[in-house]
Every structure is written in structure tokens, then in C-alpha cells.
Amino acid sequence: MSTAQNLSFVLEGIHKVKFEDRPVPEIQNPHDVIINVKFTGICGSDVHYWEHGAIGNFIVKDPMVLGHESAGIISKVGSAVKSLKVGDRVAMEPGISCRRCEPCKAGKYNLCENMQFAATPPYDGTLAKYYVLPEDFCYKLPENLTLQEGALMEPLSVAVHIVRQAGVTPGQSVVVFGAGPVGLLCCAVATAFGASKVIAVDIQQQRLDFAKEYATTSTFMPGKVSAIENAERLRSENGLSAGADVAIDASGAEPSVHTGIHVLRNGGTYVQGGMGRSEIQFPIMAACSKELNIKGSFRYGSGDYKLAVNLVASGKVDVKKLITGTVKFEEAEEAFTQVKAGKGIKTLIAGIDE
Ligand SMILES: [Zn+2]
Ligand SMILES: [Zn+2]
């Protein structure tokens, strides 16, 4: 392995992974940089590809490098690069938009029609020694941020986008369904945005125990009763008789969606961030008669990574607490096993030379 130029962690088929020495990426555009990847977080989507070989219509047909939550050190810069230099430590935004389509031109590049996103077939991910990105998709880490924290900028940006979609303002009450990494980070961002009540909902007690100590004002374990009854109890336990201002789903679970709609006040805002089954039953009458604002949220867009870095650098959001442990690159598959088993919050995979 030591003689390998660009050792990569490749998914070949369901539960079939291998280490492969791939060519070192080259600078194609004068604005490109090459990054020596140092830490990569593993999330549900990576595990889903590893377990099922597909997510919806995205099917892994050819071997694909996994990973998309990374930070690293710049090892080479293109001739036109002005914002970065060799040796800079950066968080890597792993989706390159085309810059030409209508959503791109409208400033919503996360909705790009020609997105090239890491570890979404057919595009290779970041679990390799080297990765190439345009300079504007790299975010220089301030002195007080570690590269491990840098790897957490990806899920934090997902949360920043969700909370921005929700338009959370100071003094509001926010209920977050799902206390996994993104749900917890939504709680943290909502708190940073000035929410006065932040309630985490989950069906796993150990996740709620963690959430209790992390950026929430209270937690809620749904009972085996109807969504309406759970919503009523959540409201009464939290002094929200009229309902919550904002409900965020970071679970993708049908009962969460139902409870989320019922927990809201008239005119409240609901944001769907979690991805579960592609179709579910939906309490459309409540949504209509309460005149709810219902929005989706997908990945991250303009300014989200920048704000994520700022929130951590300024001490408003703590991502360190979410890091459960780090495995060696050679033991990358172990991180997948841990995520699948629901062990801890976020497991990182170290770069080749770490
Ligand atoms: Zn992810
Ligand atoms: Zn585009």
C-alpha cells in the first residue's frame, strides 16, 4: 500500500469494497486545486450505497469511490487560483454545480440540473488520498478549527441550509425530528439563530440522552399513540399550547412527518430535510387549514458552508462533541459497520498518512 499513488476506498457491489490505487487527479481547469484528504465522515447515504448499491434512481453501476464529508490540505493549485495556496487547510464542498443552468444562475446551485456530487453515481467520492475541486468549493479553515472539525462542515452545512429554509428567527420554538448527526446539528444551528425553545424528538433513548446535553431545551420520546396525541403531549410538555413555530424533519420517518404537521401552530413552517421512503401518507387537511409553509431542503447552497465554518469558529456551534472516534484509512469499512450499528454519532476515517 505504501507505494500507492492515490489509494482509494472503492465500492464494487453490495457489501463489496476494496482498496484500489487510482491515478492522482489532475488540474483540468486553472481554477482547480488538488487536496490531500485528511479526514472523512461517514453518513447514512454512504452506508446506504454500501448496503443496497443504490439510493432511489441513483444506482452504482461501476465501481465508485465512497465518501463526501471531507477536509484536507491543499497540495497543488491551478495557475488562476488566488484564494488558496499549497498547505492551506480546507473543508471540501463535494458537489460541483454546472454554473450554467437556470437554478445555478438563480443562485440555487444545490438544485443544479447537472450536479456532479461526490459518491453519487457515477461520480467518485472523497475517500482517496487526493481529490480535485474548483477553488471556490474549498473553505479555508480558521486557525482554531481542526481538520477533524473541518470534515463536519458537510453535515453542518446541510443543517444550516435546513434552518435557513425554515427561516428561524430569535425567540421562536423549533421542534426537530430525528436526533442523528443532521438533526442534532439542526438543533445547534436553530439555537445559534436565537430560537428560545429547541426540542429534539427521537425514538432511541440514547440519542435523546445525548441531545439533552447538546443544544436543546428539551427532548421528546413519542409514545405508541397517534401522531395527534403525540403532538398534543409535546405541546403541553413544552408550553406550546398554540403549537410550535417551526417543525423540521431530519428523520424521513412517516410518523415524524405526521407529528411535525400536527405540532405546528397556525401559519407555522415545516421543512423536510430527512430522506426516508419515497412516498408516505400525509395529513394534508391539517397542512391546508393551518395554512402551513411547507418546504423541502436539499444539500446546501450559496453561503451555507461559509456560515457553517463561521458558526464553529465563533464558538456558537460545537461539532467536536459529535465525533465519536476515528478509524485508520485501511480500516475504512469499520466506520460503515459502526454507522450501521448506530454506534456513536459521527465516525471519521483518517487520511492515508494520518
Ligand atoms: Zn453526508
Ligand atoms: Zn447548474
Instruction: Answer whether 67's CB lies under 8 Å from 126's CB.
Output: yes
* Predicted pLDDT of residue 343: 83
If one looks up domain 157-296 in CATH, what number appears?
3.40.50.720
* Predicted pLDDT of residue 4: 79
Quote the mean pLDDT of the chain. Answer: 96
Question: 134 alpha carbon to ligand 2 midpoint, in Å?
Answer: 15
| Beta pairing class for 54-55 and 58-59 | antiparallel
Q: Residue 354 above 70 pLDDT?
A: no
**How confident is the model over 182-194, as a mean pLDDT?**
98
Three cell numbers written together for 82: 488566488
**Dihedral angle sign, alpha carbons of residues 51, 211, 347, 131:** positive
Q: What is the largest CA-CA distance in the chain?
A: 65
**Which residue ranges does the chain devote to CATH 3.90.180.10?**
7-152+319-350
Question: 154 alpha carbon to ligand 1 midpoint, in Å?
Answer: 7
Q: Residue 353 above 80 pLDDT?
A: no
Question: 241 alpha carbon to ligand 1 midpoint, in Å?
Answer: 35
**Which residue ranges does the chain devote to CATH 3.40.50.720?**
157-296
| Beta pairing class for 7-13 and 16-21 | antiparallel
Q: Which residue has the cell 411547507?
A: 294
Could you say which ligand is closest to the alpha carbon of residue 96?
Answer: 2
Which tens digit of pLDDT belongs to each residue from 223-241? 999 999 999 999 999 999 9
If one looks up domain 7-152+319-350 in CATH, what number appears?
3.90.180.10
Question: 158 alpha carbon to ligand 1 midpoint, in Å?
Answer: 8
Place 57 in a pLDDT band, splitting at 50, 70 and 90: confident
Q: Residue 252 above 60 pLDDT?
A: yes
Cβ neighbours of residue 46 under 8 Å, at least 6 residues apart?
Answer: 66, 67, 68, 119, 125, 336, 339
Share of the chain above pLDDT 90, in %: 92
Could you say which ligand is closest to the alpha carbon of residue 107?
Answer: 2
Question: 46 alpha carbon to ligand 1 midpoint, in Å?
Answer: 7
* More confident site: 54 or 41: 41
Place 88 in a pLDDT band, splitting at 50, 70 and 90: very high
What count of Cα atoms within 13 Å lies in the side-chain half-sphere of residue 81? 25
Which tens digit of pLDDT belongs to each residue from 108-154? 999 999 999 999 999 999 999 999 999 999 999 999 999 999 999 99
| Beta pairing class for 264-272 and 293-296 | parallel
Among 180-194, 245-259, 326-340, the minimum mean pLDDT is found in 326-340
Could you say which ligand is closest to the alpha carbon of residue 154?
Answer: 1
Could you say which ligand is closest to the alpha carbon of residue 99?
Answer: 2
* Predicted pLDDT of residue 139: 98
Give the gyration radius of the chain's Cα atoms: 20
Q: Residue 220 above 60 pLDDT?
A: yes
Listing DSSP states for 69-91 in one string gives EEEEEEEEE-TT--S--TT-EEE
* Predicted pLDDT of residue 2: 53
Q: Which amino acid is at 285?
A: M
Question: 125 alpha carbon to ligand 2 midpoint, in Å?
Answer: 19
Question: 101 alpha carbon to ligand 1 midpoint, in Å?
Answer: 24
Distances in whole angstroms, Cα of residue 104 to Cα of each of 1, 107, 239, 306:
41, 5, 42, 18
Q: How far apart are CA 286 and CA 282, in angstroms?
A: 9
Helices (H), the chain: 44-52, 102-105, 147-151, 153-166, 181-192, 205-212, 227-237, 254-263, 284-289, 304-313, 332-340
Place 56 in a pLDDT band, splitting at 50, 70 and 90: confident
* Predicted pLDDT of residue 290: 98
Which strand ranges, in their side-by-side order, compose the sheet holding 264-272?
218-220, 197-201, 173-177, 244-249, 264-272, 293-296
Q: Which residue has the cell 478509524?
A: 327
CB-based neighbours (< 5 A) of ligand 2, an ion: 97-98, 101, 104, 112
Kindly report each contact of residues 275-284 with a partner whose C-beta sits within 8 Å and lies 24 or more positions away, as own/partner. 275/55, 276/251, 276/252, 277/252, 278/56, 280/254, 281/254, 282/257, 282/258, 283/227, 283/258
Share of the chain above pLDDT 70, in %: 99
Q: Which residue has the cell 491543499?
A: 74
Three cell numbers written together for 75: 497540495
